[in-house]
Structure 1
Amino acid sequence: MIANRLGSNVPPTELTTIRDALHEGRAVNPVTVREFLSWFDAKRRGISIVARIREELESLQLSTVPDIDEQWIDGLIAFHLSGVAEAASHTAAGSIGVTEGVASQAPDVEHLESKWERREAGYRLSRFQAANKPVVSINPEASLEQAVTTMMLNDFSQLPVMVGERDVKGVVTWSSIAMRSVLGKADGRLVDHMIKPVVLDGDASIFDAIQQIVQHDFVLVRDRERRIVGIVTAADLSLQFRALSEPFLLLSEVETHVRNMIGHAFTIPELTAARDPGSTHVVHSVADLTFGEYVFLLRDPANWNRLDIKIDRGAFCEQLDRVRGIRNQVMHFDPDGLDDSDIRVLQEFSAFLKRMEAISS
């Protein structure tokens, strides 16, 4: 089991309290994914922390709805008891029993099944922050002036026309208003200025949503209870893809600068000697080293002196190792992306390496 924030090998007290309450038939309030992660002293759903959380949930026969990997980080998840009878039968079938007078046998490791649980591989629309923000709407009986005022006050480009939280009558946009105005029909009822809404379920693939967003500039997002819970615009799409792509681009810059530093200073045999002890991959150039091997190579004072640069080796290698840790997180496709502090590390280290390369060239 994973150590809780006090360092003991027991599940977080919040989880055991939830389990006990559900067994007693008492209601349990949902929590946000972010709060749930905090019980494990985590901020993001990296692949390792999710695996550890699933282990704890399984040990307490608990499950979350939606799955912790599917919900937006500030979205709510509810807790349920797993099928106790099913879990018990699964345990009985998979356990190594001790019959009377017979010694326990060690498990056949080669034939043990992996505990990997099947995941949804797609990136869902519900992961967008904008798909989980309360939607400002207007009633069909409102005036056009009210709609225009609401859009101007909130800097909206579109405004859903709704009755309740599920019934969308249409959407008013600046474009739809402008087209009627050009035709001399700016007056009239609000419903005369509406366009047909594009509504997608939150579990729709982002790739399915992109085409609709590009074509219509926005989509409305509907949850499992068919409530309209968000609106994703082309601007939101741009910001989301910047958040997803920026770490990869910054890491590419950093790695290229590091390779430029190392590549001209060492021979192929010297680079080969920097490989991990258990590695057998062939090294043809510095590009064949892993990021960890860059750190290993440069931590050696003799190797560092070969670079002939007057900066502190310890501080440089410490930051380079921190970047290596961030790189591992990025390459495991953490669904919540990076903390702002990690992005700043990449931005600042990349800028630092650019300055070094400019001075030495």
Structure 2
Amino acid sequence: MLGIDEKLTETERLSAFFHMVNRLLPPDQVVLAIPPEMPAGEALSLMRANGYSQLPVKQGESVLGLFTYRAFALEVAKMKKPAVDPSTLAVEEFLEHEKPAYARLSDEFRGLVDVLDERDSVVVSGPDDLIAILTPMDVLRYLYSVANAFVLIEEIELALRALIRASTPDHELFLTCIRNALSKKYKDKELPQRLEDMTFDEYVALLRDGRNWPHFESNFGGTRERTRGKLEPIRDLRNDVFHFRRELSIGDHKALTTCRDWLLRCVRKVHAREGGRQ
């Protein structure tokens, strides 16, 4: 009924619309668990070698707790005059300092933000069914992947407006450029008077019009055709992003980043020309 493959699990169906824990987990994550009798020094070496900040301690299929740098440090701090080298102690001696928090794949991640802030990790998906370890960095990377296109498009659009304003400082000149580029489109309708009332495609139309280009050339650089070629694909990507038509490819993200970096250079050029600091 919802247009989702009925063969998918309930969690997979829900995560098609909502941000569940299963969407936050890195696809290539390998969970490295250690036995409770492993010496702490050996566990610390494993953590350093793999870039982990914690390791789940398992007996059979049961998760007994988490061995972390923090747990090791707290236990060592308790030993005023340690009779033994703490690195030789079994990791189970350190588990009282880290009480694991658990989450299911179908949980909403927003409810875990405070938990991750406090504990630095969450065990997915339960004491007897270790699937993954969720960390604040996993959440950050996921949110970055979701939001990156929106952030880049915001920067592109705001920079484009700023450059158009800088190129047409006189309002009457700006209105003339609008008439040149958009009169046929609007016909008997009132033309927009402000950039904020225009679409991204209309920004491109301003620059695309040969009568307008001399006013924009010095700030955008290059040729009218090259500028058009840089911006028109962004228009289409913008529509895909804001209407959730598809997931962007790596190439799409690269195109957005390239356009954003180009406009940043244009803005810096204008700023430097006006005597400001770069």
Q: What fraction of aligned residue pairs are identical, expressed as a percent?
A: 24
Tell me the residue number matched to 1:315: 226
Q: Does 1:300 align with 2:209?
A: yes
In structure 2, the partner of 1:231 is 133
307 and 144 in structure 1: CA distance in 2 versus 1, 3 angstrom threshold: closer
Q: Distance in 2 between matches of 1:160 and 1:279?
A: 69
Cα displacement (A) at 1:213:
0.9
* Residue deviations 1:120-169 (CA, integer Å, cap 9, x gap): 4x31111123377231101223333332232222121100011344x211
Question: 2:276 maps to what in 1?
Answer: none
**C-alpha contact 2:240 2:246 (8 A) present in aligned 1:** no
Output the CA distance in 2 between the equivalents of 1:357 and 1:178: 49
Compared with structure 1, are the counterparts of its residues 281 and 324 closer, same or farther at alpha carbon in structure 2 (3 Å cutoff)? farther
For the residue of structure 2 that corresponds to 1:134, the secondary structure is coil
User: CA 1:285 to 1:326, structure 2 compared with 1: closer, same or farther past 3 Å?
Assistant: same
Structure 2 equivalent of residue 43 of structure 1: none
Query: 1:322 corresponds to which letter in structure 2?
Result: P
User: Could you say which residue in structure 2 is the equivalent of 1:103?
Assistant: none
State the match for 1:240 in structure 2.
142
Whether 2:102 is the aligned partner of 1:192: answer: no
Match of 2:8 in 1: 65
After superposition, the C-alpha distances for 1:94-123 in whole angstroms (9 at most, x for unaligned) are: xxxxxxxxxxxxxxxxxxxxxxxxx74x31
**Amino acid of the residue matched to residue 171 of structure 1?**
L
Normalised to the residue count of structure 1, the TM-score between the two structures is 0.60
Q: Quick check: 263-272 or 213-222, which moved more?
A: 263-272
CA positional deviation for 1:283: 2.8
* Distance of 2:25 and 2:237 partners within structure 1: 23
The equivalences for 1:104-119 within 5 A come to none
Residue 267 of structure 1 corresponds to which residue in structure 2? Answer: 174
Asked if the contact 2:21/2:106 (under 8 Å) is kept, the reply is: yes
Task: Give, in whole Å, the separation in 1 of the partners of 2:71 and 2:212.
Answer: 66
Aligned length: 252
Is the CA contact (8 Å cut-off) linking 1:125 and 1:131 kept in structure 2?
A: no
Give me the whole-angstrom Cα distance separating, in 2, the residues matched to 1:249 and 1:326.
13
1:97 matched to which residue of 2? none
User: Is the contact between residue 36 and residue 58 of structure 2 (CA under 8 Å) also seen in structure 1?
Assistant: yes
The 1:301–1:282 alpha-carbon spacing in structure 2 relative to 1, beyond 3 Å, is closer
User: Is the alpha carbon distance of 1:316 and 1:244 closer, same or farther for their aligned partners in structure 2, counting shifts above 3 Å?
Assistant: same
- Structure 1's 138 and 328: CA in aligned 2 closer, same or farther, altered over 3 A? same
Q: Distance in 1 between matches of 2:213 and 2:13?
A: 42
1:205 corresponds in structure 2 to 108
Paired residue type of 2:108: S
- Runs of at least 5 residues in structure 2 that lack an aligned partner in the other structure: 274-278
Cross-structure match for 1:256: 158
Corresponding residue SS for 2:6: strand
Q: Is contact 1:159–1:173 with CA below 8 Å preserved after alignment?
A: yes
> 1:45 matched to which residue of 2?
none
Q: Per residue, is there more helix in 1 or in 2?
A: 2
TM-score, with structure 2 as normaliser: 0.76
- Please give the per-residue CA displacement for 1:244-284, whole angstroms capped at 9, x wherever unaligned: 33322222221122112323535347537638659979734
Aligned counterpart for 2:252 among listed residues 335, 342, 361: 342
Counterpart residue number, 2:236: 325
